[in-house]
Structure 1
Amino acid sequence: MKIGIYTPYLDSFGGGERYMLTIAEILSSDNDVDLLLDKNLANQDSKMLICKLSKHLNLDLKKLNLVKAPIGAGGNAMERIFFLKKYDLLFYLTDGSFFYSTAKKNIIHFQVPFENLDNSYWSKFKLSSWTLAIYNSEFTKDIIEKNISLPGEVVYPPVAVEDFKPLSKKKQILSVGRFYGYLKTKKHEEMITTFINLYKHNDLKGWSLYLAGSLIEGDESYLDELKDLAKNYPIYFYPNIKHDDLRKLYGESSIYWHAAGLNETNPEKMEHFGISTVEAMAAGCVPVVINKGGQPEIVEDQVSGFLWNDLSELENLTLKLIENDTLKSKVTEKAIERSRLFSKMEFKEHISKIIYA
């Protein structure tokens, strides 16, 4: 088959790129796969970009063809109509926009639960050319399907669960998420305050909180604010931690916290799936995560982890685990088992069924 794959975010190294390029790796073993470059991407050193992505995502992308295409912002609609006709299948990661595709089969992927999609007749006409929508979670699917009418299916993102192993466990609580000063989506302040409250009012001898995540230029002052808030408590920060060090941190930690979506009503500000939660579970951390977004699809409450609705529940569930090693060990085993449902192999099987059905 002649297959085209397009993501407008190719240079962002995000979860969407891992999703789409894993599909590219899977399909390029038996098909002729073009990675389509829009005007912005074509102006970059695309070969170098793919090399970096391949290394960063640990994917074999050597068989991909890099093809400049009249697609995305600034693309000519008439040229695109003729250009796409040669494809048996087109995969598109949408940024919330649509275009009319003339490929034989068209699959659109939603990573984000956009609440305000264009629902005009023109938009519906463009969507009529698409065969199927795939989503990264039921959460995303439910939001999107309020706005569009298109057959849809959930295919959970591929997580390299085999890369994460339990190590000798320490009295550590871990949370992984970007230190994002503008939106503060990962709720670092709230987690720090919760840990301090736990530490002040309970016997938490030896326990500590570890916060790891990416930090980009411009957010350093936000990290400084967090450090000031955490001063005098066993709270440690790991900005831009190396992958091997992060794996070690996962492996040594006993409990995993996730709070994105706390006090939010906009679904776009919640965790759309939760790859870091799966990674933590694979490494033997007990997830104690917010009951919002895609988290409840990953964690079976009271079985492979715990779901909470407010910070007092987060405190109580954490304390329950700290005080009960038997419970912690039991849930750890279930968490590891559960994480395997989100492996790259499961993803490959699901995608292959969709493509070759």
Structure 2
Amino acid sequence: MGVVYLDNAATTPLSETVRTAMRPFFEDQFGNPSSTHEVGRKARQAVERARRTVAQWLEADPHDLVWTSGGTEADAAALTGAFLARRATRPHIVASPVEHHAVLHTLSFLQSLGAEVTFLPVDSDGRVHVEDVVAAIRPTTSVVTVMAVNNELGTVQPVDAIAKAVKEVDPAIVVHSDMVQALPTQRISLDGSEIDLASFSAHKIHGPKGIGVLYIRKHTPWVPYLYGGNQEAKRRGGTENVAGAIGFAAAVEELGKAFDRDVEHIRTLRDRLWEGLRVVPGCHRLSPDDAAPTILNVAFTGVRNDMLLMRLDLAGIEASAGSACTAGSLEPSHVIQAAKGDAYIREAVRFSFGVQNTLEEIDHAAGIIETQVREIRERFTTS
């Protein structure tokens, strides 16, 4: 068997259907959507069709969607825009400590501009509790941000309940959610929620990299932070990524064709791998039982994740530690540390699944993982 790719939470392979949909916009349909001639008008029409397609799946008004370069920009634009809109009177932000670095690094930047950030407690699953959010609110709170699905543990956060509770305390507070990891397996209804800002990315659902969406509910206190043109109703300057938008829409259409069946398939893959790993001595499941089916985070006592991942890579199994790589060495996961303490931060490994994976691949991977764990324990002394 060839390489088994189990890092779908990082990115998914581009669907051939998506590739086919995008190809004309790299070739003869190359127009700038801001141009007024025929080639430009066709590009504009394509971009707006794509916007409507994505909006329909998210149950949102198409006018509330802004194209971005991905989930990171969507997170940064959401938080920066909401903070700058009311920084003089509402400098306080409430956030979970297990957010993606796109949120955490943006918050650090905003702190340099005067933002006051309160980080919420989380339980051993990395889950935020509604009552803790409410307790953290101040009269000067401008934004609450909690991700919908954690990218390392797969923990599903009660974001709709959080938004509802926040609005009951203070309807003027803006609620943002990073929904990048929720998109593959959750049916999302933005119009049916009280979330004001939400971030999405195409490459988690077999779409292209370099394209995302920021949802901005009408009348939300928010200002743009990327200038240079009147695109996106003056909410984001810069020529739209036409091919990327088409690819995002094509990926959403494909996602919806057999959504429930595909989610169940992914859940079966996740459960099958766990069944294969749970018999390995010293294997601990770090993901909660009710985690999103795309993610399984485990730790093997005494087995460092950097060593295990390197050996798995050489054996044709591609996974991750769910944390940033700096100069070739894995940084300890802030998510694992917040939820579990220091016990597993050097041992946690994330396996994540896509619709293209098969049960045969999972069984093969389980055998390889067990072998590598055993060999590491036999040959090396870890700390």
| TM-score, normalized by the shorter chain, greater than 0.5 | no
Q: Shorter-chain TM-score: what band?
A: under 0.3
TM-score, normalization by structure 2: 0.26
TM-score, normalization by structure 1: 0.28
Q: RCO higher in 1 or 2 (8 Å CA, sep ≥ 6)?
A: 2
